[in-house]
Amino acid sequence: MKNLLLFFLFIGVISTSCNNDIQLNADYKEIMVVYGLLDKMDSVHYIRIQRAFQNTNASALSISQKVDSLYFDTLNVKVTDLTTSQVYLLKKEVSTIKDSGYFQNKVNVLYRFSAALNASHLYRLDIIDANTGSGVSGITPIVGTPTNVTSPPGDTFDLLTGKKIRAYCLSGINARAYDVFYRFKFNEFDSISGALISQRFLDYYVLRSGLTTTLQGGSAVDQTIESDDIFNFIGNSLHRVPGVYRIATNFDAYYAGAADDLNVYQDISKPSIGIVQKKPEFTNVSNGYGLYSSRNIFCKKHPVSPSTQQALLKHLATKDLGWK
């Protein structure tokens, strides 16, 4: 009797275990992926809106090359100034060329509007799919312009050997973190004809993701660097090109402020160095995925001084790079 019971139990297990198909994907649901950073320093603003896709019958690589898999047919997109109730209707834009990469770049759909943004106002984004009626929305404050910018003081940039350079500003309203960098611009010319070959630049970061103490503005962003560190950075980034000479033109100072949500998104997106590799998902748009936030990229332009030109010719790290 015991053997008979074991036999029927074995048959029952076998009969219920034969189907080992596993459904990895849920039923299809159309999901919008939205990315947009509003900057009051810009007069024209862009929002990227795409589809999330997954297909068990085709590879992600093949789907990423199909325009219809990436973009929606008909979207109604608007941004509303919640303080003034001013509504901006976004226009579809396909003229901006996208860099090549994993996704197709023959068509690049963006949505744009023109406006002078106010850092004391909130701006709501609303997107409606005209075919399905489904929508996505998000709200962002606007990062204000930094004040009391010292980058260093004066119109020209005097990069002299053995000097300290101070980068300083007071944060704009709604800014949670700052990147501060100097953009060293230079031109390359043909040594024989004198013809311009290229216009190039190098970015030297003074500060990355430096946190502010308040979102109300007025938080000090203060960093001091050694001028020799910049010379060494230039020397390590370039090599001498035969038949080419270079002329330095600018050391422009950039203060890039990030809103709170943008700072959180950037922090989560950093590579994981711990044992647990899975990262939490971040989105601040409702009924979709993505990031709708603000930044403020303030630039103070500094032509290089004659003394800087001479220092590039004489400094051990840069003297053999063809400066003129």
CA distance 168 to 180: 9
The values of phi and psi at residue 269, to 5°, are -80, -5
- CA-wise closest residue to 151 among 42, 250, 38, 296: 250
The pTM (predicted TM-score) of the whole model is 0.83
Give the single-character DSSP code of 248. E
Q: Are 261 and 198 in contact, with CB atoms under 8 Å apart?
A: no
For the stretch 290-321, pLDDT in tens is: 999 999 999 999 999 999 999 999 999 999 99
CA distance 50 to 75: 11
List, in sequence order, every residue forming a beta bridge with 45; answer none if it has no partner. Answer: 113
Handedness of CA 290, 35, 212, 251 (dihedral sign): positive
For the segment 149-164, the average pLDDT, to the nearest whole number, is 86
- CA-wise closest residue to 218 among 172, 162, 277: 172
Under 8 Å CB-to-CB from 111, ≥6 apart: which residues? Answer: 46, 47, 48, 49, 75, 77, 90, 91, 92, 93
How are strands ordered across the β-sheet holding 44-51? Answer: 91-93, 110-114, 44-51, 32-38, 289-300, 244-258, 177-190, 196-211
For the segment 154-175, the average pLDDT, to the nearest whole number, is 91
Residue 14 has pLDDT above 50, yes or no: no
Three-state DSSP state, 229: helix
For the segment 279-300, the average pLDDT, to the nearest whole number, is 93
Q: How far is CA 206 from CA 165, 223, 270, 292, 295, in A?
A: 10, 7, 19, 27, 18
pLDDT number for residue 279? 66
| CATH code given to domain 147-258+295-314 | 2.60.40
pLDDT number for residue 67? 56
Q: Where are the beta strands (DSSP E) in the chain?
A: 32-38, 44-51, 75-81, 87-89, 91-93, 110-114, 122-129, 135-141, 147-150, 164-170, 177-190, 196-211, 220-226, 244-258, 289-300
pLDDT number for residue 102? 53
pLDDT number for residue 105? 61
Domain ranges for the chain, please list them: 32-141, 147-258+295-314
Residue 27 has pLDDT above 80, yes or no: no
Confidence of residue 174 (pLDDT cuts 50, 70, 90): very high
CA distance 262 to 293: 6
Ramachandran region, residue 218 (left: φ > 0; alpha: ψ -120 to 50; beta: rest): left
Q: Are 212 and 195 in contact, with CB atoms under 8 Å apart?
A: no
284 versus 28: which is more confidently predicted? Answer: 284
CA distance 243 to 247: 14
The answer to whether 32-141 and 147-258+295-314 have equal CATH topology is: yes
Of 101-110, 154-163, 306-315, the poorest mean pLDDT is in: 101-110
What mean pLDDT, rounded, does the chain reach?
Answer: 86
For the segment 11-20, the average pLDDT, to the nearest whole number, is 50
Residue 36 has pLDDT above 70, yes or no: yes
Three-state DSSP state, 109: coil
Confidence of residue 158 (pLDDT cuts 50, 70, 90): confident
Confidence of residue 104 (pLDDT cuts 50, 70, 90): low
- Read off the tokens for 250: 């600018």
Angle between the N-to-C axes of helices 306-314 and 227-237, in degrees from 0 to 180, rounded to the nearest 10: 60
pLDDT number for residue 90? 98
Q: Are 323 and 313 in contact, with CB atoms under 8 Å apart?
A: yes
For the segment 155-178, the average pLDDT, to the nearest whole number, is 93
pLDDT number for residue 144? 98
Confidence of residue 211 (pLDDT cuts 50, 70, 90): very high
- CA-wise closest residue to 265 among 30, 35, 31: 35
Residue 239 has pLDDT above 50, yes or no: yes
Confidence of residue 276 (pLDDT cuts 50, 70, 90): low
How are strands ordered across the β-sheet holding 87-89? Answer: 87-89, 75-81, 122-129, 135-141
pLDDT number for residue 154? 77
For the segment 255-261, the average pLDDT, to the nearest whole number, is 98
Confidence of residue 52 (pLDDT cuts 50, 70, 90): confident
Residue percentage of the chain with pLDDT more than 90: 68
- CA-wise closest residue to 143 among 117, 121, 175: 175
Residue 16 has pLDDT above 60, yes or no: no
For the stretch 117-143, pLDDT in tens is: 999 999 999 999 998 899 999 999 999
Which one is the CATH code of 32-141: 3.30.70, 2.60.40, 1.10.10, 2.120.10? 2.60.40
Select, from the ranges 24-33, 59-68, 139-148, the one with the highest average predicted confidence (pLDDT).
139-148
pLDDT number for residue 26? 47
Looking at the chain, how many residues does it have? 324
